[in-house]
Amino acid sequence: MSFTIAHIGIPVRTGVVEIEIREPGIVRHVAFGAKQQALVAANGKSQFSEDVVMFVEVDPNGTLHRRKFILLSPGIAFEPTTGTRAAFRGVALSQNTGMIVYLYEVMPTVSVENAHESTRLIS
């Protein structure tokens, strides 16, 4: 098994986002990434948009799993639905705007009785 770090963009929007990630899928870092959108003809300066990017440890040949993530700004409450929980995965700070976002993974709650049935690595 060989591992690599994949960078996966997350749209900055409201609500839960589903993303397919290869095993083991350990989120190692979260950051803002800028990408050039277009040139402004009036003054010749580039316009950039910022996206949130998570850096994830994956096996290139690993099994794909559909996982759910949510980005939250400071002070925003999120209440997972019954049977799920939000696991903190990281924080990103924009150097351009000062915006802070927290990345959480929305996952099923694992009880003590069925913990042995959970085979997915979640840390």
Looking at the domain assignment, is residue 80 inside a domain? yes
Structure-block tokens of residue 40: 């402004």
Output the pLDDT for position 120. 47
Looking at the DSSP bridge assignments, the partners of residue 102 are: 72, 91
Looking at the domain assignment, is residue 56 inside a domain? yes
Looking at the domain assignment, is residue 22 inside a domain? yes
Q: Can you tell me which residue has the tokens 């997350």?
A: 10
Which pTM does this prediction carry? 0.78
Output the pLDDT for position 49. 73
HEC secondary structure over 33-72: EEEEEEECCCCCCEEEEEEEEEEEEECCCCCEEEEEEEEE
Range of the domain at 18: 4-117
Q: What percent of the chain has pLDDT over 70?
A: 79
Looking at the domain assignment, is residue 77 inside a domain? yes
Looking at the domain assignment, is residue 122 inside a domain? no
Looking at the domain assignment, is residue 82 inside a domain? yes
**pLDDT beneath 50: ranges in the chain:** 41, 116-123
Output the pLDDT for position 118. 47
Q: How many domains does the chain have?
A: 1
Looking at the domain assignment, is residue 123 inside a domain? no
